[in-house]
Amino acid sequence: MPRTITRYPKEVILKDHREVFLRPFEAGDIEKLAEFYISLQLSLRWFLKEDPCDLSVIKKWIDNQSEGKAFSLIALFDDRIVAHGTLLQRPYGGRRHVGRLRVMVASDFRNLQLGTWIVFDLIRRGMEMGLEKIRADFVIGLEDSIIEALKKIDFIEEAVLKDYIQDQNGKYYDYQIMIKQLHKELSDF
């Protein structure tokens, strides 16, 4: 269980000076989160493991969080969800020390460091959960800016699966697996 609980809501200031609030995803956010995913281009949603526009999928995400299998953050701007990040953890077995990371950001909030803020919070949460590694998977050619951003915060390229992902038009893409080694705690100075 977490050693320290990060306090929310948390205000972050983006590069364009807009204020956004980060907080954990709650049951009352289900419809707003569906609206967020519906607003994203299909090409961005296509590569997710489940259809995030389906309310039953989002309800399952709430259940996973309640059961300690996931921790999700949303970013709010003027009562609109503009980003969603999740850290998944297996509660049992040989991969329970590895979290899975996924972050989605609305197009009008990209390249403003919002995704980076969410990743930082999820890394901290992973440390609180006792995780040793975080894994993040990306589609090369579509998510290259995210890959480059994560390299700058010490995610390493672990593997590339060639022609592994297929888009809705049948085009194949390589799949990048990245890993970040976590520390037990951060140092202060």
Average pLDDT over residues 120-144: 95
Strands 10-13 and 156-166: unpaired
pLDDT above 60: residue 131: yes
pTM above 0.95, yes or no: no
Q: Is the peptide bond before 52 cis (omega within 30 degrees of 0)?
A: no
Asked whether the beta carbons of 100 and 59 are under 8 A apart, the reply is no
3 state DSSP class of 128: helix
pLDDT for position 188: 67
Query: In sequence order, what DSSP letters do the residues of 30-96 get, joined into one string?
Result: HHHHHHHHHHS-HHHHTTSSS-TTSHHHHHHHHHHHHTTSEEEEEEEETTEEEEEEEEEE-SSSTTT
The count of other CB atoms within 10 Å of the CB of residue 41 is 8
pLDDT for position 1: 41
What domains are defined for the chain?
10-181 (3.40.630.30)
Place of tokens 């990306």: 138
Share of the chain above pLDDT 70, in %: 95
Instruction: Kindly give the interhelix angle for 144-151 and 114-128, rounded to the nearest 10 degrees.
Output: 50
Q: Compute the distance between CA of residue 147 and CA of residue 176 in angstroms, rounded to an integer.
A: 8
Average pLDDT over residues 170-177: 97
Q: Compute the distance between CA of residue 78 and CA of residue 80 in angstroms, rounded to an integer.
A: 5
- Tell me the pLDDT tens digit for each residue of 60-80: 999 999 898 999 999 999 999
Average pLDDT over residues 91-106: 93
pLDDT for position 2: 44
Q: pLDDT band for 6, please (50, 70, 90 cuts).
A: low
pLDDT for position 3: 47
